[in-house]
Every structure is written in C-alpha cells, then in structure tokens.
Amino acid sequence: MIIGSPKELYAGEARVAMTPDSAVQLQKLGYACLIETGAGKAAGFSDDAYRAAGVTVAETAAALYAGADVIAKVRPPEPSEIALLQPGKTLISFFYPAQNTELLESAKDKGANVIAMDMVPRISRAQKMDALSSMANIAGYRAVIEAGNNFGRFFTGQVTAAGKIPPAKVLVVGAGVAGLAAVGTSVSLGAITYAFDVRPEVAEQIESMGAQFVFLDFKEQLQDGAATGGYAAPSSPEFREAQLKKFRELAPEIDIVITTALIPGRDAPKLWLADMVAAMKPGSVIIDLAAERGGNCDLTVADQRVVSDNGVIVVGYTDFPSRMAAQASTLYSTNIRHMMTDLTPAKDGVLNHNMEDDVIRGATVAFEGAITYPPPPPKIQ
Ligand code: NAD
C-alpha cells in the first residue's frame, strides 16, 4: 500500500506529517511513500531530501490523494481535502471530532476511515503515538523562548562589572505536559521558577525540576481540583478565590507568566485577570498557551501580541509547534510512524485496522461508513 502526506493548507502551518527519516521507517513496514511537492519545505525538508529517502513526489494534492491509500497529515482536513478522499482510504490527522462534527460526517459519507491523533488514548502503551503530548512539549519550551524574546532582561542573575542583575521570576500556571516543559526550560535558563496546578500531585515533580510549587492557603488543596483520569475539573468557588488571591500577591513581583491551564471539554479558565496584569511591572510578559480555547488571561487575543496600558506584553499565539516546524514535524511524523507500526503488525505494507485494539479503536472516529466517535472507554490502563 501507499502512504502519502500532502502540503498543509491551513494558513501559516509549517509542519508536515512525513519527514524523509519517517519515510525510511514507513518503507521498512512495507509501504511505498508519497509526498506532495513542497510539503516539507517550510519545515526544512526539500523534495530532493524526500527523493533521496526513496519517496515519490506528487505534483498536486489531487495526485497525492488519488495515489495514496493512507493519507497522513497534521491539521484536520479542509472540506476541499475531504472532497479528494475516496471510499476505503484512511486519513490520519489531528481531527478534534467533538468540534468538527460536520467534517466528520462528510468524511464518513465519503466512506473514508479516519484516525484522529488527538483521540489516541493516554495510556502507557500509547505514549509513543501521543501527538498531543509531543506538541505540548514543544509549545511549553517555545513559550519560554518566546517570553525571552519579548522580555528586555536576562533570565539568569549575573554579577558583572557593570552591575548586579537579579534573576527573572517566572510563574507557570498549569503543570501538564506543556507546563512542565516550560518549567524545565525556564529553570535551565536560570530564572527563579514557580509553578501552580490544581492537581497537587505535580508538586513533587515541579520541585524535583528545581522550581517551587505555589501552595495555597486553602485547607482542601489536597483534594480540590483533582479529577479522575489525571485531568483537572473546574475548581470550587472557594478554591478559585484562594488561587486568585495568591496570584494577586505574586503579580507585582513576577516578570514572566506562562499560562497553560485547561480543563477537558471546556473553555480555558480565566486565571490571570485584568487587575493582575495591571499590578505587573512594565516590560513583564505573559505567554498564554490556552489562547486557542479562550485564554487564561483576560487580555489575551488569540494569535496576537498585545501590550497593556501599563506596558505588559501579552502573547496569544496559537501556533507554537508550527513555529518550531522541523522539531514538531520530526516528533509528529514519529508518532504517525508508531501508529502505522501498530496498524501493520505483519510489516507487510498492508493496513490491518484492528478495531479490537483499544488504542486503534479509541483513535478511530470514522470506520467503514459509520461514525465511531465517541469510543467506548479503553479496557487497558
Ligand atoms: P491539559 O493540557 O488538559 O491541562 C494543562 C494543565 O492545566 C493540567 O495539568 C491541569 O491540571 C491544569 N489546570 C486546569 N485548571 C487549572 C487551574 N484552575 N489552575 C491551574 N492549573 C489548572 O493537560 P495535559 O498536559 O494534557 O495533561 C493532563 C494530565 O494527563 C496530566 O496528569 C498528564 O501527566 C497526563 N498525561 C498522561 C499521559 C499518559 O499516560 N500517556 C500522557 C499525557 C498526559
């Protein structure tokens, strides 16, 4: 069978779902590989690099969709891409089926099988396919780099002949995958780093990385906020008040805030309010990784960099992984390759879409003319 990756259509998207290296691995599974001309260019992979890795270059998207049995891409398909899908073909991409119900319906009507990378169950066995985590890791790292780019001072403290420079103080709000990556990057750059999460089980992890967990003056911190499955639940009003009170205390002394707080299936909680921005020093920076879901900061505007009246820079970019397209494509294409490995147990270049497999079943959102989302809960933990 043939697996192919088109050029992404979403404006500004620089990632690609197949790299020359991942193509070599896919060929070891027995597949022939196809890439649309220019698909890897923005991530630093030329057509010639693909050819050298044994990949055939298709001149148009239509030729790619017609030639490939499996289409692997990054962003959810555009309607024009769904139109190119043929019955029995398999599409693998981020899909967000809950938000893209019409798109899912039209993929099903086309008779295509759809594997949503965002629906891979987050169980140990599937970590190698967990593209949400690999992209969140990049976003967390890049958020700190972006903060540094906007911040007019050093992260680390220095004693120089020209004067003593205090270290920057960074607060990371939300310590999931992206938040922990931000904590690690901030600590490695020498900033005094604080982190907060409603899940107190991350406190030890934060402190082992050289950062300080922000404890609240709230007696039920150890129970509140933690939900089943390791994800956060909305906080009680009392807990939220205690959290906001602590943030208000911290705001005047914090130089950089990186917010990553999300609650599955909901808008991002507003945690860094306008009065906290107003209390920060001019030149302070807020990077809001929750911008796509409405933002954790009152002043965030998705995809924009705004400056508050008191000179605080608020960055709401939603494309941090794409801003590191080479790294993101390398990791994402590896996640895809692992998915293909599980779909090809005989390594014979033939897709074996085993719906009895919890991971494959969980990620499959359309199959053989039916919508298969939401999946039943996984049996294996
Ligand atoms: P996420 O992107 O959904 O949320 C980011 C963080 O925001 C979470 O840590 C959450 O607790 C936090 N948050 C929510 N409301 C908050 C508030 N009011 N204040 C402060 N923080 C708040 O999370 P994620 O990065 O996808 O990870 C969520 C969990 O899933 C973590 O426990 C993570 O370790 C786990 N996980 C497991 C696997 C696996 O086993 N394969 C893979 C990835 C993640």
Question: pLDDT per residue over 224-253, tens digit each?
Answer: 555 546 678 888 899 999 999 999 999 999
- If one residue of 132, 141, 183, 198 were mutated to test the ligand 1 pocket, choosing by the most ligand atoms within 8 A of its CB, it would be 198
pLDDT at 336: 98
How many angstroms is it from 54 CA to the middle of ligand 1? 39
pLDDT digit string (tens) for 70-99? 999 999 999 999 999 999 999 999 999 999
Active site residue 122: yes
pLDDT digit string (tens) for 243-291? 999 999 999 999 999 999 999 889 999 999 999 999 999 999 999 999 9
Phi, psi of 227 (to 5 degrees): -125, 170
Banded model confidence at residue 293, pLDDT cuts 50, 70, 90: very high
pLDDT at 221: 55
Banded model confidence at residue 292, pLDDT cuts 50, 70, 90: very high
pLDDT digit string (tens) for 358-373? 999 999 999 999 999 9
pTM: 0.95
pLDDT digit string (tens) for 314-331? 999 999 999 999 999 999
pLDDT at 378: 59
Nearest to 286 by CA among 269, 263, 268, 304: 304
How many Å apart are CA 228 and CA 47, to the nearest integer? 46
If 0-12 CB within 10 Å is exposed, 13-18 middle and 19+ buried, where does residue 323 land?
A: middle
Protein residue closest via CA to atom 8 of ligand 1? 176
pLDDT digit string (tens) for 330-363? 999 999 999 999 999 999 999 999 999 999 999 9
Q: Which residue is catalytic, options 46, 99, 127, 158?
A: 127
First to last CA, the chain: 32
Nearest to 196 by CA among 171, 230, 177, 218: 171
pLDDT at 379: 64
